[in-house]
Amino acid sequence: MDRPPIVLVHGTRFARGQWQPQLAALAAEFPVAAIDLPGHGRRAAEPWDLDRAADVVAEAVRDLDAGPALVVGHSLGGYVSLHVARRHPDLLAGLVLMGASVATTGPLTVPYRLMAALVARLPAARLTAWNDRLLRRLYPPEVVGATLADGYAFHTLPVAWRDVMGRFDATSLAAVRAPVLILNGERDRLFRSGEQEFAQARPGTRIELVPGAGHLANFDAPAAVTEAVRRFARELSPAAPPDSTVRA
């Protein structure tokens, strides 16, 4: 069976280097691309726009030239990936949502809004130094070296999260025509708090938890996340109907 291409979409403030722990292992078997969203990494000078972010993912799928792709989105990238499913459904062979199964509507949006307001008030240099120290203390260079080299998109974080607010809840998953895996860190209590509602909105959706991992699951447990994505990708075929489901 042909293997689908994979497009990896980073989370809040990070860039394509977030996927350093997964890229080489997945590229041994699949066509793979990790992208920078607008306002992040090599696209830092581009203004943030949710539609444009989804189009950047779509361009990466087309550039791989291997058919519809498995799109893997973490946090902010997960919500962008849901928007790809709305905007470019024909390009999606499958979807992995990581740390993005909580509604961006209602009272649970308060932490997002507070974080965006705080980041907008703090100097980028201070935020960068704090993030660098945290990542270096928690993870080895082979996991976060590329993320440290990419830098952080603190200037984009407030506008990106304001753009996402009010747009996504469990019904967003109901409209996805491709198979879906919800892959969350076991300790990611906030961002996995809606995972049951999300899964129930689309029959056939599977939930997998990464043992001992938090919100940055692909840093906390790189091999486990790689294996979960690899296993799900192997279940997909570009020749399968777009509304087919993968069942647990």
| pLDDT single digits (tens) 180-208 | 999 999 999 989 999 999 999 999 999 99
> What is the separation, in whole angstroms, between the first and last Cα of the chain?
20
Residue 66 lies inside a defined structural domain of this protein: yes
Residue 210 lies inside a defined structural domain of this protein: yes
Residue 77 lies inside a defined structural domain of this protein: yes
Residue 245 lies inside a defined structural domain of this protein: no
Domain of 39 in residue numbering reads as 6-234
Residue 230 sits in a domain whose CATH number is 3.40.50.1820
Residue 248 lies inside a defined structural domain of this protein: no
Quote the pTM value: 0.92
| pLDDT single digits (tens) 57-81 | 999 999 999 999 999 999 999 999 9
**Which secondary-structure segment (H or E) carries 138?**
helix 124-138
Q: How many domains does the chain have?
A: 1
Exposed e or buried b per residue across 167-182, where buried means at least 16 C-beta atoms within 10 angstroms of its C-beta: ebbbebbeebbbbbbb
Residue 243 lies inside a defined structural domain of this protein: no
Residue 17 lies inside a defined structural domain of this protein: yes
